Amino acid sequence: MARYVIGDIHGCVNTMRELIENRLHVSKTDTIILLGDYVDRGPFSMQVLDYIMALIDGGYGLIPLRGNHDDLLIQGRFSADVARMHLVSGGSATLESFGVSQHEDIPSHYCDFIDTLPFYHEEQDFVCVHASLNLLSEDPYSDYESMLWSRLEIDDTDKMGRRVIAGHTPQTIQMIVRRIDSGRKIILDSGCCYPDREGLGALCSLDLDTLSLQYVKNIDYRY
């Protein structure tokens, strides 16, 4: 009964499958917390969502959180300004994966699924969020903007002393390892969708019980 946290996926479904199926060998008794940003930039956003929903339907213990890119996708249906922001932030690749040219044409069940995703997840010893917790707020869990977008480093541990694990800000593997060892906030975004950038281009998983890090290099840009 392992507990894994996986960083930002960004449309890289083959890399995700490689990590979950062949590296972690995830079973239905395991808990897999996904830190959000399933869509944009990479080539297979729709397929990532399909895979997540298939695992949940198959009885696997996935807990997918909402990321800022996922939120942009569903909000772009209602605002032309948000839709434009999404397109220049990697959203054009997402629309292409769906074979559509505008947000309103994305099949509604994908948007309905994203709209159910929580902004954070609590374990007894960790709290997981896509971006950051605003610990200057009396109720950090009501500050959805910070949980989706903030890069402020004021949240190494929450008010209950639980260590924070987040994605959102790309880190090299070396930076992630240093964070794990330091006792600080852990950021697991290893820039999976950036295989052309030095030190990035991997998808990371952290075992919460051993704090061991596993990662696979991006294989989606071979397709």
The per-residue pLDDT for range 11-69, each reduced to its tens digit, is 999 999 999 999 999 999 999 999 999 999 999 999 999 999 999 999 999 999 999 99
What pTM, to 2 d.p., does this model score? 0.97
| 62: helix, strand or coil | strand
CATH class of 3-222: alpha beta
Distance between CA 196 and CA 24 in Å, rounded? 25
Q: Give the pLDDT band of residue 6 (cuts 50, 70, 90).
A: very high
| 217: helix, strand or coil | strand
pLDDT at 221: 83
Distance between CA 55 and CA 58 in Å, rounded? 5
Q: What is the mean pLDDT of residues 91-112?
A: 97
Mean pLDDT of the chain: 96
Q: Give the pLDDT band of residue 154 (cuts 50, 70, 90).
A: confident
Q: Give the pLDDT band of residue 153 (cuts 50, 70, 90).
A: confident
Residue 222 clears pLDDT 80, i.e. is over it:
no
Q: Give the pLDDT band of residue 223 (cuts 50, 70, 90).
A: very low
Distance between CA 210 and CA 49 in Å, rounded? 28
Q: Give the pLDDT band of residue 197 (cuts 50, 70, 90).
A: very high
Alpha carbons within 13 A on the beta-carbon side of 94 = 33
Spell out the domain ranges in the chain.
Answer: 3-222
Site of tokens 């929903």: 53
Token pair recorded at residue 70: 């996922």
120-122 and 126-129 as β-strands: parallel, antiparallel, unpaired?
Answer: antiparallel
Token pair recorded at residue 140: 């950090």
